[in-house]
Structure 1
Amino acid sequence: MDPTVVDLSRLQFALTALYHFLFVPLTLGLSFMLVIMESVYVMTNRPIWRSITRFWAKLFGINFVLGVATGLTMEFQFGTNWAYFSHYVGDIFGAPLAIEGLMAFFLEATFVGLMFFGWDRLSKLGHLFVTFMVALGTNLSALWILVANGWMQHPTGSVFNPDTMRMEVSDFGAVLMNPVAQAKFVHTVSAGYVIAAVFVLGISSFYMLRGRFPGFAKRSMVVASAFGLAASLSVVVLGDESGYALTDNQKMKLAAIEAEWHTEPAPAGITLVGLPNMKEQKTDYAVKIPYVLGLIGTRSLDGQVTGMSELVLQAQERIEHGIVAYDALEKLKANSDDTAARSAFETHRNDLGYALLLKRYMEDPRQATPEDIRLAAWDTVPNVPLMFWSFRLMAGIGFAMIALFATAFILCSMRKHTSARWFWKLAVFALPFPWIAAELGWVVAEMGRQPWAIDGVLPTFLGPSSLTPAMILTTIIGFTALYGTLAVIEVRLMLAAIKHGPVEDHADLATERAQEPQLQVTA
């Protein structure tokens, strides 16, 4: 495969995925915040809570539409740009995507119309149920997508069939309950909740700074502060669990994140800051905290976090075994009744993917020299500086969000959020940061898996379709133009909705202003 085609295919998918993920986390979090706000309306019967719910639902709807449109584009790319990937693992990878489309997406799409147009046609409880079903469908969509992605990170519940030359499902329950997928789901969803809470808090603070809709803004801030504090704490706790899952399932990714070049005596210290040096395989100017990495990575004082150098040696051994499996597979192609070849393949089948790493250097892995094997083994090390700093920036923002929401929660509890102008400015300033952290999280997750499309099974460079660089450049330019246009439209719609505010007409605005002196800031 032409390296340019591989790089451009990866670039296109990365651009569309990162753009798509600008909208998804906000809808994940806003959907359940709508449930909370509407629940307050049902319990209190106060019209202002109806206006609050409808306003945030309008912004949810704008992002929902963009999320659906960009998500469909991503799924089509598996057929257009990653044809061999789809052929090789489609029996497994396609199942969660199909379930997501048939169950979660249709559940979500069916109820979203009722949520927007059923306010005057459904009872209060009936409409609250519809809103809850929209939230459930939104989060179920994320579950099935992350089951598919988790399988790419840790391909459990599947086997390679030498007769069909494809990966096939052996245990769908194992695919669904994949520990990496489950950890990714709860961590990703919690991150979406933080994004939504920051969004609500920031827009509400903007209204407070402008002196507009104070009743709406103060109540929205109360919901956002409590929801955001719980979510931000969950992100850190669940992120720690996600990192712990790497210890058993993605050791190279963990070692790259921590710039752990060599295995240290247990418990290893964590590198707080430093400059990873890929050439000399060390971290310059490293500042370490003793014992922390061992405690986080192994939950023990005697467990070791394996370094990249040792993992490369293990990869070399697996490549050598994989060559045996590749040779046996070629013999089975010629004679499916060759019992010796079948026995050899069954013995080394789990290492077949490692032999495929050699196809970057030669057509037939059986011709590899010891130097070729060494080079292929070092290919299993991802971009360490990128992983190291992306993770630390993401984690730093995560802790900053805890501080932000803890402050917001204290201010709301003390009824000080109605006059804390300094905090309103801080909340508006904080708006973009959770999105930055979420995008960095995906960079860590996906770049940390390289050079694999399916970890240990299929190298990324073997996955693309047979396209030319010109074809892919054309689609990249097209997507850039289309997505740029959609971004302008989305921002204009959002700004127009925010400028209009949470009231539906001038009569509602007058009612809110008249009632505001009598209304206390309560949830």
Structure 2
Amino acid sequence: MDPMVADLSRLQFALTALYHFLFVPLTLGLSFMLVIMESVYVMTNRPVWRTATRFWGKIFGINFVLGVATGLTMEFQFGTNWSYFSHYVGDIFGAPLAIEGLMAFFLEATMVGIMFFGWDRLSKLGHLFVTFLVALGTNLSALWILIANGWMQNPVGATFNPDTMRMEVSDFGAVLFNPIAQAKFVHTVSAGYVIAAVLVLGVSAYWLLKGQFVPIARRSMTVAAAFGLAASLSVVVLGDESGYALTDNQKMKLAAIEAAWHTEESPAGLTIFGMPDTVARTTRYEVQVPWLLGLIATRSLDGTVAGMSELVLKAQERIISGVRAYDAVERLKVDPQDRAARAQFEAHKRDLGYALLLKRQIADPRAATPRQVTAAAWDTVPDVPLMFWSFRIMAAIGFAMIALFATAFVLCSLRLHLESRWFLRLAVAAIPLPWIAAELGWIVAELGRQPWAIEGVLPTFLASSSLSRGALWTTLAGFTLLYGALAVIEVRLILAAIRHGPSDAEHDQPAPGPLPATPMTA
């Protein structure tokens, strides 16, 4: 296997995933903001809320189309670029994707059409119910995708079958209720709600600065302030829960995020600033908050957060154990009735994936030297500086969003948001920030589990298809050009919609009153 093929396949999937994730979070959040605005319309019967809902529905629609197009490309890549991955774990990984397509996506896609074209054909409550189904379908799509992704991070409910040489489902309930998947889902959708709220807040602020569409802008800003404050607080709380889940399931990822090279006495301190040195395997210029990491990661004062050096030693033990499982599998290929080999496999099957790490250096892991075992164990450490800084920038933006929405909520509650032009400018400038945080979160989640395609089960370099470098470079260039063009089109469409404003906003502007009386002058 050409290692460059795996690297190019990873790069192609990363680019398409990062691009796709520009649209997904906004779709998740806007769908429920539409439900809120339309609910107010149904309860108050005020046309201004109908106008606001229809405008933000237009932004939702533009974004929805691009999200669907890029998402389909990603799913096809499992067959084109990651065929061995699909063969090896398709029995487990394919089920959530199929359910997402059959249940959530069909529900969402069907209801979107009715939502857009049913305003004058359905009753108010009927149309509100359709809008709610769109939001439900959108979030259910994310649920099933994140169940699949959560299984890649924490492969529960499945086992390797030496008779078929594949991973197979042993407990589908464990796959569905995977704690990593649950933590990722609630954290991801909350981040999407923040992104949508920031967009609505920023666009509303832009209109208020320009003195345009004021009735729509001030109502949209009020909804965005309340919705965004709740969402941003949820992101931090649920992000903390995600960190707690890592303590039990992805210790190496947590250690890399914190640049924890060695296990500290409990409770460990949280490093706010530092410069990870991968050569000396230390973190220079550390600024720590005592006890905080131990409290976050273990919910106790005596729990231990494992360091990377100690985790590497455990990886070495698992590699040695995995070699015995690999040996048993090779013997079972020759004689499936070999009871001794089957007993040996059952005793060591949990570590089979670790033996496969040796295939980067040697064809037969059973012939590996101690030096190669050590090198393979250190391969389980991800890119520490990238993880360290990506997480901290993401967290800083998260706290900045809380401050932004708290300020917006106070100003809207006191009806001062129309006069606070400094805040309106700040709200416009803040629009890109949650997208940056979301992309960095994806980097932390996905690069943090490297070198694994499936944590502890299948190394990434073994998961790719047998493609040529030329084919990958060609498709990579094609995707880059196509997605670049689509990005330009979408941005232009959204900016044009924002400049044009709500199509029937003129009906919501207050009618001009009589001119005030003026005193006569001599």
TM class by shorter-chain length?
over 0.9
| Match in the other structure for 1:349 | 349
8 Å Cα contact 1:358/1:368 also seen in 2: yes
8 Å Cα contact 2:147/2:181 also seen in 1: yes
Deviation at 1:418, TM superposition (A): 1.3
Change (3 A) 1:35 1:171: same
Pair 1:172 & 2:172 matched:
yes
| TM-score (norm. length: structure 2) | 0.98
| Match in the other structure for 2:40 | 40
8 Å Cα contact 2:204/2:220 also seen in 1: yes
SS in 1 for 2:135: helix
Change (3 A) 1:170 1:516: farther
Pair 1:186 & 2:186 matched:
yes
AA of the residue aligned to 1:497: A
8 Å Cα contact 1:108/1:137 also seen in 2: yes
| Match in the other structure for 2:288 | 288
Deviation at 1:170, TM superposition (A): 0.5
**Once superposed, what is the RMSD of the aligned Cα atoms?**
1.0
Residue deviations 1:56-101, cap 9 Å, x none?
Answer: 0000000000000000000000000000000000000000000000
In 2: Cα distance, 1:156 partner to 1:96 partner:
14
Deviation at 1:485, TM superposition (A): 1.0
Unaligned runs of at least 5 residues, structure 2? 515-522
| Match in the other structure for 2:471 | 471
Within a 5 Å distance, the mapping from 1:119-518 to structure 2 comes to: 119-504=119-504, 508-514=505-511
SS in 2 for 1:514: coil
8 Å Cα contact 2:47/2:508 also seen in 1: no
In 1: Cα distance, 2:57 partner to 2:392 partner:
34
AA of the residue aligned to 2:427: A
Residue deviations 1:456-493, cap 9 Å, x none?
Answer: 00000000000011000000000011101111111111
In 2: Cα distance, 1:464 partner to 1:36 partner:
44
Change (3 A) 1:146 1:261: same
Within a 5 Å distance, the mapping from 1:58-77 to structure 2 comes to: 58-77=58-77
SS in 1 for 2:167: strand
AA of the residue aligned to 2:377: A
SS in 2 for 1:286: strand
In 1: Cα distance, 2:153 partner to 2:408 partner:
37
In 2: Cα distance, 1:452 partner to 1:86 partner:
14
8 Å Cα contact 2:48/2:508 also seen in 1: no
8 Å Cα contact 1:142/1:185 also seen in 2: yes
8 Å Cα contact 1:150/1:184 also seen in 2: yes
Deviation at 1:121, TM superposition (A): 0.1
Change (3 A) 1:216 1:32: same
8 Å Cα contact 1:215/1:516 also seen in 2: no
SS in 2 for 1:244: helix
Deviation at 1:515, TM superposition (A): 8.2
Deviation at 1:510, TM superposition (A): 4.8
8 Å Cα contact 1:315/1:354 also seen in 2: yes
| Match in the other structure for 1:54 | 54
Change (3 A) 1:216 1:304: same
SS in 2 for 1:388: helix
Change (3 A) 1:349 1:207: same
8 Å Cα contact 2:215/2:508 also seen in 1: no
Deviation at 1:513, TM superposition (A): 3.5
Residue deviations 1:231-281, cap 9 Å, x none?
Answer: 000000000000000000000000000011000010011111000001111
| Match in the other structure for 1:520 | none
AA of the residue aligned to 2:32: F
Deviation at 1:516, TM superposition (A): 11
AA of the residue aligned to 2:510: R
8 Å Cα contact 1:271/1:287 also seen in 2: yes
In 2: Cα distance, 1:78 partner to 1:403 partner:
40
Percent identical among aligned pairs is: 76
Residue deviations 1:422-480, cap 9 Å, x none?
Answer: 00000000000000000000000000000000000000000000001100000000001
| Match in the other structure for 1:92 | 92
In 2: Cα distance, 1:294 partner to 1:487 partner:
42
In 1: Cα distance, 2:248 partner to 2:455 partner:
13
Deviation at 1:511, TM superposition (A): 4.4
SS in 1 for 2:198: helix
In 2: Cα distance, 1:36 partner to 1:269 partner:
42
Change (3 A) 1:234 1:335: same
SS in 2 for 1:300: coil
| Match in the other structure for 2:517 | none
8 Å Cα contact 2:37/2:52 also seen in 1: yes
Unaligned runs of at least 5 residues, structure 1? 518-523
In 1: Cα distance, 2:315 partner to 2:123 partner:
61
Number of equivalent positions: 514
AA of the residue aligned to 1:339: R
